[in-house]
């Protein structure tokens, strides 16, 4: 009886795993803006809706919007210049740029669908408009690259396989660990793709992409000597990003 129950559990686990594998295959599509094949489980309209719904909460977590209208206007102008001079303008996304009041957290991020944020803590450390363009261009790259949507779909896939492993043979933890490492690797690739797109956006809008290297130095200094090792982080080491940025600059200067 015990052996029979094990076989039944194994069969159920295989069926569940096959369901998620087939589902993932059906969700593969080519991003028309990057040419990369991705797993995507939502439409651009859904991404926009998620971003708009989440934006107020994200702002609240960082002390709300910064009250200085002059600073906010600068962020708007730079962000819109990057969008209007690049392929980002051709996407269905509604790009909006927000300067957050947070004076302590050095960060910038983008929600699905075009909501882009930069904290005052990072904004105040930037040395010029070109560096601001580097930060915002990187975040526009995340939106255009559909990285959040891809992460959501991939997480659903690995969670499904972990469930199948738990049902079929108590290997759910192993599968979950493999999935986590895969998602971390994908996250680092997302950052490098966004850096590459940011360089392209900057050049198209007549900003100096060399200033992205200065942004990396700011982020490196902010992380300090105790920063999380690259293999345990969704972000590549700043030094590695600098080398990739230099390569992107050389690549695009030859083609533009």
Lowest mean pLDDT among 42-56, 72-86, 132-146, 196-210: 42-56
Residues 88-107 have pLDDT tens digits of 999 999 999 999 999 999 99
At residue 148, the pLDDT reads 85
At residue 221, the pLDDT reads 86
Looking at the chain, list the stretches that DSSP marks H as alpha helix, in order from N- to C-terminal side: 2-26, 44-61, 69-84, 120-123, 129-144, 147-169, 172-204, 211-223, 238-255
> What is the token pair recorded at 209?
């992409």
Give the whole-angstrom CA distance, residue 106 versus residue 230.
18
Torsion from C-alpha of 111, 176, 184, 99, nearest 10 degrees: 20
Give the whole-angstrom CA distance, residue 126 versus residue 250.
23
- What percent of the chain has pLDDT above 90? 55
Q: Are 109 and 10 in contact (CB under 8 A)?
A: no
Residues 16-43 have pLDDT tens digits of 556 555 656 656 889 888 899 987 878 9
Q: At what angle do helices 147-169 and 2-26 cross, to 10 degrees?
A: 170
Report residue 188's pLDDT band, with 50, 70 and 90 as the boundaries.
confident
Return the higher-pLDDT residue of 144 and 183. 144
- Residue 186 in this model has a pLDDT that exceeds 80: no
**Residue 234 exposed, middle or buried by CB count within 10 Å (0-12, 13-18, 19+):** middle
3-state SS assignment for residue 91: coil
- Residue 177 in this model has a pLDDT that exceeds 60: no
Residues 138-170 have pLDDT tens digits of 999 999 999 988 887 776 654 655 555 555 445
Q: Are 199 and 253 in contact (CB under 8 A)?
A: no
- Residue 110 in this model has a pLDDT that exceeds 90: yes
Lowest mean pLDDT among 26-35, 60-69, 212-221, 240-249: 26-35
Q: Residue 198: which residues within 8 A CB-CB, separation 6 or more?
A: 134, 137, 138, 140, 141, 209, 212
Give the whole-angstrom CA distance, residue 234 versus residue 165.
25
Return the higher-pLDDT residue of 170 and 78. 78
Residue 205 sits at φ, ψ, to 5 deg, of: -95, 10
- Residue 75 in this model has a pLDDT that exceeds 70: yes
At residue 52, the pLDDT reads 94
Q: List the one residue out of 99, 76, 13, 178 whose CA is nearest residue 84.
A: 76
Annotated domain spans of the chain: 2-255
- Residue 125 in this model has a pLDDT that exceeds 50: yes
- Residues 72-92: what's their mean pLDDT? 97
Round the average pLDDT of the chain to a whole number and report it: 82
Q: List the one residue out of 170, 146, 139, 156 whose CA is nearest residue 9.
A: 170
Q: Are 81 and 21 in contact (CB under 8 A)?
A: no
Q: How far is residue 231 from each of residues 83, 213, 235, 236, measured CA to CA in Å?
A: 32, 22, 9, 8
Report residue 182's pLDDT band, with 50, 70 and 90 as the boundaries.
very low
């Amino acid at each position: 009886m015990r052996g029979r129950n094990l076989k039944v559990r194994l069969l159920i686990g295989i069926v569940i795993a096959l369901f998620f594998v087939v589902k993932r295959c059906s969700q593969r599509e080519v991003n028309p803006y990057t040419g990369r094949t991705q797993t995507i489980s939502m439409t651009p309209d859904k991404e926009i809706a998620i971003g708009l719904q989440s934006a107020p909460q994200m702002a609240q977590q960082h002390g709300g919007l910064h009250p200085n209208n002059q600073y906010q206007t600068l962020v708007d102008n730079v962000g819109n210049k990057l969008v209007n001079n690049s392929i980002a303008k051709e996407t269905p996304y509604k790009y909006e740029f927000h300067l957050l009041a947070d004076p302590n957290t050095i960060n910038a991020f983008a929600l699905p669908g075009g909501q882009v944020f930069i904290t005052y803590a990072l904004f105040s450390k930037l040395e010029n408009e070109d560096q601001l363009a580097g930060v915002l261009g990187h975040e526009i790259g995340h939106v255009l690259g559909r990285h959040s949507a891809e992460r959501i779909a991939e997480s659903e896939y690995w969670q499904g396989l972990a469930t199948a492993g738990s049902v079929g043979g108590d290997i759910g933890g192993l599968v979950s660990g493999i999935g986590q490492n895969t998602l971390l690797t994908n996250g680092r690739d997302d950052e490098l793709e966004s850096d590459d797109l940011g360089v392209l956006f900057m050049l198209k809008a007549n900003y100096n992409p060399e200033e992205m290297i200065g942004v990396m130095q700011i982020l490196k200094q902010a992380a300090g000597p105790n920063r999380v090792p690259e293999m345990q982080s969704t972000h590549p080491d700043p030094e590695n990003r600098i080398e990739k940025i230099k390569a992107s600059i050389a690549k695009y200067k030859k083609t533009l």
